[in-house]
């Protein structure tokens, strides 16, 4: 008998021959190991385990084709061994067959969802653009769903099969939050409660679905409803970030996002984002594509404008990303949701500063006056008191993220004054519940510098819902001295538990507390101290306030808030005739950088080049500019001078970081320029564009990185190709503008030419 062309004459039993092969393997003699495994298989070819070892030996010997055949022979005999699929995936990976490797890894994970190596390898392949077999991906996603299913749940949406509108809620930032924290804070809580209420009790008028935006794939995918409900259920339970059930669920979510096919929006669907998306640099590129191809309506919930209105309380990167998002939001929708009159005023103010006209009727207010108590759930107070060493009725509760805007320092100053006036024994403990945010060094430095204050202040984080409910019920009252809010959920939360809340009168807080909260003038430290003294030492006064809350405060169920959000859809209100679908104007003589926004203030002089990007051929903007993806990036712009005169184009290109790449520029299919870029080389290209190249006043400029465009998806090493720094167009006869551009480029001062905002 011959196996792989070798004659076998050894009369030992298969097990003995395999053992000799193992011994050769252990001493690193792979050819000898392969020889013995061949002999063993000549005696008994049904042994899948020996076929696997044969594959190892052949792979290490460098015969990758024969090794693949050996692994596949093992799988023919025993197809349900996850490790064999894993080994086959490794072989395909080193052979450069990324799609085949991803398919093998996906099969391994489907057979054993705990096989960490397979999970990590699969995600790595997917991030590099590999595309596993669609049926294998679908089967894996479905198996993950069923292994975690705890209840019947509506299936996540396929395109609508009736005349109802479709509302698809984007939960990208909620999933991102879950990878760093478990217990939700304000904005995360709103998303969890609103979307869960709609999934558990779907409305008749609107089909509900959930999606997430994948950074690696730069696209949305559907998130199964049952998986979302499982995540939100576990997030609200006790347990740390490292809880095995929580970690397993996060892995299921990650694989689902990585493996699910790109979401195809039903025509005219509403994409509703109740959270944030400013950290997703390619988000609006994909919104534009979905609007152009599927006519979707983008509807963001603007919780506040703090990074613009109070940037001193935000980090610079947050402010930059938020301002970039603000420009994108106004350019891609004319409908907004917000939570208060104060937030609506701020939104309109920012729109006016940027030169966008937004009227009050375009901004729907959805008040967050929700009931934070769980129906029928009255958790006992004693466990929370014992856990945190507190005495019921002898502490004041302050619930907020620990950051400068929340004004912990004012609370600390007031507590120090109370101790000085009345003595520590007479002053209740201040219990601060919340995770660390940004710009909070002063808060902890103040505590560390004052031992007396340390004894009177407790800082708690990671408090479960049940413990927080116990703390509210046992507190004397709550405190919320925040300097700026979009709504102020802890105010409503305190009132839900029947507790008086002392809040500042800033921004939206009087709307959140209504007639049931006690207020002090923001910045009035003496007024804060006076109000605290009365609430602490005048028990009849406090009891009268609690009675007023019990008699008159009526928080709404979360589903009522959810239906408020959907009313924008169910009442037939639709955005104007899709102005967001128009191609933006490139003003002659104005330079448009394609880098991430670095602006820390808004005004009519802001410029964004991001909006001119079109199609799927773009990576996310970076600090210098933007890479094309797969060597094919499209820029579309209306030229304000019309199409009757020649135009001059200036465009900055950057070579790939590790190799030289040929490139060419095309306009409406005609070649304009070509060349080659060295690794990381920067070139500025200037060409004249004849009038016939500009059709209907639209400049369509395509940048093609030749090597990348011709590579197959299964062998491409890097999805990024030639990058674009920025561009400018002007009248070809305008020598003054052309000279100004050359001078600005020489002086490294192109910002001087970024004046104004592209209009739609």
pLDDT category at 572 given cuts 50, 70, 90 is low
So what's the pLDDT on residue 220?
93
User: Mean pLDDT lowest for which of 22-36, 343-357, 370-384?
Assistant: 370-384
Contact 105, 86 (CB under 8 A): yes
Contact yes or no for 613/626 (Cβ under 8 A): yes
> pLDDT tier at 206 (50, 70, 90 boundaries)?
very high
Question: What is the total residue count of the chain?
Answer: 760
What are the CA-CA distances from residue 168 to residues 261, 271, 525 (Å)?
16, 5, 46
pLDDT for res 479: 98
pLDDT at 505: 96
Closest by CA to 193, choosing from 561, 704, 737, 515, is 561
- Of 1.20.140, 1.10.3470, 2.40.128, 3.40.50, the CATH number of 153-365 is 3.40.50
**pLDDT value for 540:** 97
| Torsion 522-524-525-529 (CA) sign | negative
Contact 133, 100 (CB under 8 A): no
**DSSP strand E in 252-353: where?**
270-273, 297-302, 336-338
Strand-strand pairing, 592-593 and 720-731: antiparallel
Compare 568 and 396 and report the one with higher pLDDT.
396
pLDDT, tens only, 611-620 = 999 998 999 9
Domain boundaries along the sequence of the chain: 2-147, 153-365, 382-554, 585-753
**What is the rounded average pLDDT of the residues 545-570?**
94
Answer whether residue 358 shows pLDDT above 80.
yes
pLDDT band at 669 (very low <50, low <70, confident <90, very high): confident
Is a pLDDT exceeding 90 seen at residue 583?
no
169 vs 273: CA distance, rounded Å: 6
Q: Note whether 153-365 and 382-554 share their fold.
A: yes
| pLDDT higher than 60, residue 157 | no
Q: Quote the CA–CA distance of 126 and 38 in Å, as a whole number.
A: 35
Q: Which of 265, 327, 319 is nearest to 297 (CA)?
A: 265
> Is the separation of the CB atoms in 347 and 363 below 8 Å?
yes
What CATH architecture is 585-753? Sandwich (2.60)
Question: So what CATH class is 382-554?
Answer: alpha beta
pLDDT at res. 393: 94
Please report the beta strands in 90-202, taking only residues with DSSP state E, as ranges in sequence order.
165-170
Over residues 365-384, the mean pLDDT reads 81
Between CA 723 and CA 652 the distance in angstroms is: 8
pLDDT in tens, 507-516: 999 999 999 9
User: Does residue 398 carry a pLDDT above 80?
Assistant: yes
Which of helix, strand or coil describes residue 663?
strand
* Residue recorded with tokens 């101290």: 529
What pLDDT sits at residue 465? 82
Q: Report the interhelical angle of 82-94 vs 98-111 (nearest 10°).
A: 170
pLDDT of 538 above 70: yes
Confidence of residue 459 (pLDDT cuts 50, 70, 90): very high
The maximal CA–CA distance of the chain, rounded, in angstroms, is: 101
pLDDT for residue 296 is more than 50: yes
Q: Is the pLDDT of residue 102 over 70?
A: yes
* CA pseudo-torsion sign 269, 274, 275, 277: positive
Q: Is the pLDDT of residue 125 over 50?
A: yes
- The closest alpha carbon to 168, from 203, 213, 208, belongs to 208
At residue 569 the predicted structure's pLDDT band, cuts being 50, 70 and 90, is confident
Mean pLDDT of 116-139: 83
The pair of three-digit structure tokens given for residue 353, joined into one six-digit string: 């500063």
Helix (H) or strand (E) holding 636: strand 632-639
Three-state SS for 563? helix
Res. 647: pLDDT tops 80: yes
Q: What is residue 156's DSSP assignment?
A: P
In the chain, % of residues over pLDDT 90 = 56
> pLDDT tens across 595-615, in order?
988 888 887 767 778 999 999
d(CA 652, CA 626): 11
Phi, psi for 729 (deg, rounded to 5): -125, 150
Domain 2-147 CATH assignment equals 1.25.40.10: yes
How does pLDDT run across 301-357, given as a tens digit for each residue? 999 999 999 998 888 988 999 998 999 999 899 899 999 999 999 999 999 998 888
- How much is the average pLDDT of 466-484? 94
The pLDDT score that the predictor gives to residue 159 is 43
Of residues 567, 611, 568, the one with CA closest to residue 291: 611
Give me the pLDDT at residue 216, please: 79
Q: Could you tell me which of 588, 635, 586, 585 has the C-alpha nearest to residue 741?
A: 588
pLDDT band for position 460 (cuts 50, 70, 90):
very high
Interval 58-85 mean pLDDT: 92
3-state secondary structure of 659: coil
Give pLDDT, residue 595.
92
Q: Which of 376, 307, 288 is nearest to 601 (CA)?
A: 307
Q: Is the dihedral of CA 185, 191, 194, 196 positive or negative?
A: negative
CB atoms within 10 A of CB 309: 18
Is the model more confident about 435 or about 511?
511
């Amino acid at each position: 008998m011959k196996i792989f062309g070798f004659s076998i004459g050894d009369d030992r039993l298969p097990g003995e021959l395999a053992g000799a092969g193992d011994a050769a393997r252990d001493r690193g003699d792979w050819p000898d190991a392969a020889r013995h495994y061949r002999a063993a298989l000549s005696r008994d070819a049904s042994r899948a385990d020996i076929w696997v070892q044969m594959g190892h030996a052949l792979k290490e010997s460098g015969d990758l084709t024969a090794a693949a055949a050996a692994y596949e022979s093992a799988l023919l005999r025993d197809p349900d061994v996850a490790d064999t699929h894993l080994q086959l995936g490794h072989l395909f990976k080193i052979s450069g067959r990324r799609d085949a490797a991803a398919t093998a890894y996906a099969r391994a994970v489907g057979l054993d969802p705990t096989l960490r190596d397979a999970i990590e390898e699969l995600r790595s392949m997917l991030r590099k653009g590999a595309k596993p077999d669609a049926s294998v991906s679908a089967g894996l996603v479905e198996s993950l769903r069923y292994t975690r299913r705890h209840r019947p749940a509506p299936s996540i949406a396929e395109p609508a099969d009736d005349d109802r509108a479709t509302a698809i809620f984007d939960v990208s930032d909620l999933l991102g939050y879950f990878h760093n924290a478990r217990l939700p804070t304000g904005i995360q809580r709103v998303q969890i409660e609103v979307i869960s209420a709609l999934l558990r009790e779907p409305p008749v008028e609107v089909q509900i679905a959930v999606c997430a935006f994948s950074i690696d794939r730069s696209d949305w995918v559907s998130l199964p409803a049952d998986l979302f409900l499982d995540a939100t259920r576990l997030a609200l339970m006790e347990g740390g970030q490292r809880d095995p059930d929580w970690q397993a669920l996060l892995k299921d979510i990650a694989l689902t996002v990585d493996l699910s096919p790109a979401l195809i929006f039903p025509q005219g669907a509403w994409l509703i984002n109740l959270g944030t998306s400013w950290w997703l640099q390619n988000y609006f590129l994909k919104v534009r594509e979905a609007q152009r191809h599927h006519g979707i309506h983008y509807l963001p919930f603007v919780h506040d404008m703090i990074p613009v209105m109070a940037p001193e309380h935000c980090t610079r990167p947050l402010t930059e990303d938020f301002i970039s998002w603000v420009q994108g939001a106004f350019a891609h929708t004319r409908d907004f949701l917000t939570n208060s009159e104060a937030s609506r005023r701020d939104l309109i103010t920012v729109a006016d500063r940027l030169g966008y006209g937004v009227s009050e009727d375009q901004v729907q207010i959805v008040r967050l006056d929700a009931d934070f108590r769980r129906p029928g759930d009255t958790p006992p107070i004693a466990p929370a008191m014992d856990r945190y060493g507190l005495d019921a009725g002898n502490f004041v509760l302050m619930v907020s993220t620990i950051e400068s805007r929340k004004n912990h320092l004012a609370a600390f100053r007031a507590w120090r004054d109370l101790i000085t006036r009345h003595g520590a024994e007479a002053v209740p403990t201040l219990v601060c519940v919340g995770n660390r945010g940004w710009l909070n060094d002063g808060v902890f430095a103040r505590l560390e510098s004052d031992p007396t204050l340390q004894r009177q202040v407790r800082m708690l984080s990671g408090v479960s819902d049940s413990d927080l409910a116990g703390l509210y019920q046992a507190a004397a009252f709550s405190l919320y001295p925040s300097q700026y809010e979009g709504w102020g959920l802890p105010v409503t939360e305190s009132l839900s538990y029947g507790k008086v809340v002392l809040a500042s009168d800033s921004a939206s807080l009087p709307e959140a507390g209504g007639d049931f909260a006690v207020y002090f003038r923001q910045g009035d430290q003496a007024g804060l101290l006076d109000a605290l003294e009365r609430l602490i030492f005048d028990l009849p006064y406090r009891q009268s306030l609690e009675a007023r809350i019990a008699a008159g405060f009526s928080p709404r169920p979360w589903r009522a808030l959810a239906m408020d959000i959907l009313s924008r859809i169910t009442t037939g209100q639709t955005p104007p005739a899709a102005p967001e679908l128009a191609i933006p104007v490139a003003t002659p003589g104005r330079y448009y950088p394609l880098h991430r926004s670095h602006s820390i203030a808004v005004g009519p002089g802001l410029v964004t080049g991001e909006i001119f990007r079109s199609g799927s051929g773009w990576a996310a903007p970076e600090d210098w500019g933007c890479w094309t993806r797969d060597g094919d990036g499209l820029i579309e712009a209306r030229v304000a001078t019309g199409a009757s005169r020649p135009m001059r184009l200036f465009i900055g290109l950057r070579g790939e970081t590790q190799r030289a790449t040929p490139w060419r520029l095309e306009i409406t299919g005609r070649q304009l320029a070509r060349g080659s870029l060295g690794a990381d080389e920067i070139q500025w290209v200037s060409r004249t564009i004849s009038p016939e190249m500009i059709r209907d006043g639209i400049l369509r400029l395509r940048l093609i990185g030749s090597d990348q465009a011709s590579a197959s998806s299964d062998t491409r090493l890097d999805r990024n190709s030639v990058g674009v720094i920025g561009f400018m167009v002007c009248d070809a006869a305008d020598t003054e503008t052309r000279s100004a551009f050359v001078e600005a480029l020489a002086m490294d001062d192109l910002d001087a030419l970024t004046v104004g905002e592209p209009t739609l």
